[in-house]
Structure 1
Amino acid sequence: MHSRSRKALGIAVASALALTVSACGREGGDGGDRGSGGEASPGITDDSVTLGISTPLSGATAGPGTCTVAGITAYFGMKNAEGGVEFGDGKTRTVEIEALDDTYDPQQAKANYDQLKDDVFAMTAGLGTPTNRAWRDAAIADEVPQALIMTGDPLFSDPEESPWQLGFVPIYQNEGEAFGELLASSGQQHRVAILSQNDDYGEGYVEGFKSAVEGADNIEIVEELTYEATDTSVDAQMTELAASDADVMFNAMSLVPLAVSALQKAQQLNWTPSWFLPSNTSSPGGVLTPGGATAFPGVYSVAFSKAPAGPAAGDPDVVEYLAALKQYGDYQDPPAFPHCQWSWMVGATLEQAFGEMTEPTRENFMEALRGISGFEAPLMLPDTSVDTTEAGQPAVSTVVVQKYNGKGYDTVTTFE
């Protein structure tokens, strides 16, 4: 069965967003709900499964947050239209997705989890490190899967510390390291300025970058500043960084409005270094175009998914994805944020786990989820894949560096 959300996913939603799409679900079952014979966990029946999402659907991160719901909804909507997804127990199930708005607020994210936990089989796809951390301990205590969430926090990919968790996107250190390696291998002298978010997000990116350039005699970090996730402006930091005369800006920033304003402020200061932006704040439509990114000699980011704009625009995977996003995800325009692609890939990865489940239990689902290796999910870039078997790494740990070409990104192997 399939019923669309009452509000288009392409706009911010101020309250709970309930979506019902068909597909297959995960099987549940840990704790008191799992009997010795594989008694079904909450949120799953022989015919359907319910998944929960807590993500920002309003506020400053509503754009990427909305995408975390749209992509997975579109994927399972398409699969439902094809007859559904067959689980490893031989049953075909539909999926009901219940998505609640947390506005990127940790307290609201915890409240959303408390509201959903007894009715859903698993939580998935939600965006944010502080918001996902807010209910991580509770999910462990309740034995509720927090599966393939949108955070690069390594804690969620440590099976000993987080037995019911698994991140989807690369950890922050992986992204920072990829750019550092590219820069260090350039053979040219570079002065680097760093602006990072003053939390685990920013620290992870900077840690990865510094580890890659350590010992490189052509790289000098000349200024390093931070900002708070609650800040509404980074103009003061940008003014100080511009005075460093750095030719490279390493900007570990998670907030879209601040990423745009940082690009704009640099131009006002007549400072035009090359930039590195994290994958989640490097959208051509959402960040680079309004930020005037073509004014800089190069804007770099990392990626693992094909994008609707740029070289992959006519790719069959992209064409299929965009059609389903419009039909089943209520997302009418090409997405400005990569999170739509990522959550589509989350859906495909979940389908792989569903196909290996032999019992309708949460425990069996987690076992199946942690056994995926070398899976080339739809929309994956060459040289990347899904591998959930490596402790300490999320489902996707491989990335490629890309350079903005004025419309989309081109994959590069050298820094120019």
Structure 2
Amino acid sequence: MSAVALTAAVTLAFTGCARDGGGGGGGREGGGEASPGITDDSITLGITTPLSGATAGPGTCTVAGLEAYMGAANADGGIEFGDGKTRQVEIDAMDDGYDPQKASANYQALKGKAFAITSGLGTPTNLAWREAANADEVPQAFVMTGDPIFSDQEESPWSLGWVPVYQNEGQAFGEALAASGEDHKVAILSQNDDYGEGYVEGFKEGIAGADNIEIVKELTYEATDTAVDAQLTELAATDADIFFNAMSITPLVISSMQRAQSIGWSPSWFLPSNTSSPSAILEPGGGAAFPGVYSVAFAKAPASPEFAEDEDVQTFLSDLKEYADYQDTPAFPHCMWSYMLGATLEQVFQSMEEPTRAEFIQRMREVEQFQAPLMLEGTYVDTTEDGQPAVSTVVVQKYNGKGYDTVEAIG
């Protein structure tokens, strides 16, 4: 997957669902000198993401969804840009194994040949080349990290995050827990970095002023740890009925669930959106053994019976098989996220009147309340608010044994 080329070309519409509508962006010829990675016929997007190692599952999805969307667009003819040119989209994806040094090396390899670098997963890996990308004025567009620094225009004028910042997710769960009206004791285990700190910060904001919620203990772990048994034993001794687990490492989430059961601790769980997959995490971890497992989402889950006949989902699964050679129903939401990302990039391309990175950045920050394919009701893409990522709206959901149901409060 080090270099994946997608071919074709089409005239596509500038409408909510992108491929279904009317005119492109007019016929004006762009006046700026073309930036690297774009010609009159094609545009190259780079990705650095984990395609091997513990996070290879979601990492692979960050490429597959984008391949699926752009592959379908290209098969229909390509994308008509705002300068009147119709272009193919090519994707050059490189494996960083969730290693910041590899991600930095990948950036150096991609910056001269990719128009923009997008979609890649990971806070430490994207942070590793953020400063360089901003200094070089290379778009770091819609990367999959919830660190707020990517959405701060003063700190990162050439960057923008895709997924809700960690604080958004943590706050949504805290507010739902406080809204239950019931007394809860909360134990917290968080990753000892910006990822974990952001989730905990947001959660505390969500429960601020709620006298029915008590945090009884907080512990951390390192992202390089292979087990957190000691922390779980200590947290279980508190008899907390809610476990706020801000954890990004898939194998650790599974082993944590198994460990909690082995020591007889059965709290309700909160999990971040990127480590809450029903089939890849909750089933092997035994999630059904707990009173409730909660997370947040903004994408329709193809495995959920609720969306079995959904038109967006059916189109997505078909595109995923045909253009990304991804035959299974995705276990990770990143496949859906990167598909939505593709639709959003199309919106940006259709408004670009010059083939330059500067024009791309300007248009990237003008997407307003766009209902991308697969988005849940009440969520949307909006890039116009400084300090917020492309997606900042989420809904709280509860695991039902197969997928998730949306809830207003947590009992």
2:3·2:91 contact (CA, 8 Å) conserved in 1? no
> What corresponds to 2:408 in structure 1?
413
> What corresponds to 1:258 in structure 2?
252
Measured after TM superposition, the shift of residue 240 of structure 1 is 0.8
> What corresponds to 2:2 in structure 1?
16
Equivalent position to 2:325, from 326, 330, 334: 330
Identity of aligned residues (%): 71
Measured after TM superposition, the shift of residue 18 of structure 1 is 3.2
Residue 149 of structure 1 pairs with residue 135 of structure 2: no
Residue 318 of structure 1 pairs with residue 304 of structure 2: no
- SS of structure 1 residue aligned to 2:401: coil
- SS of structure 1 residue aligned to 2:153: coil
- SS of structure 2 residue aligned to 1:254: coil
Q: Give the distance between the partners of 2:396 and 2:123, measured in 1 at CA.
A: 23
Measured after TM superposition, the shift of residue 43 of structure 1 is 0.4
- SS of structure 1 residue aligned to 2:89: strand
Measured after TM superposition, the shift of residue 85 of structure 1 is 1.1
**Deviation by residue 1:113-167 (Cα, 9 ceiling, x = unmatched):** 0011101100000000000000011101111000000000000001111000000
Q: Give the distance between the partners of 2:401 and 2:201, measured in 1 at CA.
A: 29
Q: Give the distance between the partners of 1:320 and 1:362, measured in 2 at CA.
A: 31
2:8·2:76 contact (CA, 8 Å) conserved in 1? no
Residue type of the alignment partner of 2:180: S
> What corresponds to 1:28 in structure 2?
none
Measured after TM superposition, the shift of residue 415 of structure 1 is 1.1
- SS of structure 2 residue aligned to 1:20: coil
> What corresponds to 2:384 in structure 1?
389
2:7·2:75 contact (CA, 8 Å) conserved in 1? no
> What corresponds to 1:56 in structure 2?
50
- SS of structure 1 residue aligned to 2:240: coil
Q: Give the distance between the partners of 1:342 and 1:40, measured in 2 at CA.
A: 29
2:57·2:332 contact (CA, 8 Å) conserved in 1? yes
- SS of structure 2 residue aligned to 1:148: strand
Q: Give the distance between the partners of 1:231 and 1:361, measured in 2 at CA.
A: 43
Residue 402 of structure 1 pairs with residue 397 of structure 2: yes
Measured after TM superposition, the shift of residue 21 of structure 1 is 4.2
Q: Give the distance between the partners of 1:369 and 1:198, measured in 2 at CA.
A: 32
2:9·2:76 contact (CA, 8 Å) conserved in 1? no
- SS of structure 2 residue aligned to 1:52: strand
Q: Give the distance between the partners of 1:37 and 1:368, measured in 2 at CA.
A: 16
Aligned pairs for 1:290-301 (under 5 A) are 290-301=284-295
Residue type of the alignment partner of 2:280: G
Aligned pairs for 1:120-131 (under 5 A) are 120-131=114-125
> What corresponds to 1:107 in structure 2?
101
Residue type of the alignment partner of 1:90: G
Aligned pairs for 1:335-414 (under 5 A) are 335-414=330-409
Aligned pairs for 1:148-227 (under 5 A) are 148-227=142-221
1:75·1:324 contact (CA, 8 Å) conserved in 2? yes
- SS of structure 1 residue aligned to 2:6: strand
RMSD across aligned positions (CA): 1.3
Q: Give the distance between the partners of 1:155 and 1:373, measured in 2 at CA.
A: 21
Q: Give the distance between the partners of 1:307 and 1:281, measured in 2 at CA.
A: 14
Residue 228 of structure 1 pairs with residue 222 of structure 2: yes
> What corresponds to 2:27 in structure 1?
none
> What corresponds to 1:85 in structure 2?
79
Residue type of the alignment partner of 1:410: D
Equivalent position to 2:302, from 305, 308, 316: 308
1:19·1:99 contact (CA, 8 Å) conserved in 2? no
> What corresponds to 1:10 in structure 2?
none
Q: Give the distance between the partners of 1:396 and 1:414, measured in 2 at CA.
A: 22
1:22·1:96 contact (CA, 8 Å) conserved in 2? no
> What corresponds to 1:134 in structure 2?
128
Q: Give the distance between the partners of 2:161 and 2:206, measured in 1 at CA.
A: 23
Equivalent position to 1:117, from 99, 111, 121: 111
Normalization by structure 1: what TM-score?
0.93
Residue type of the alignment partner of 1:412: V
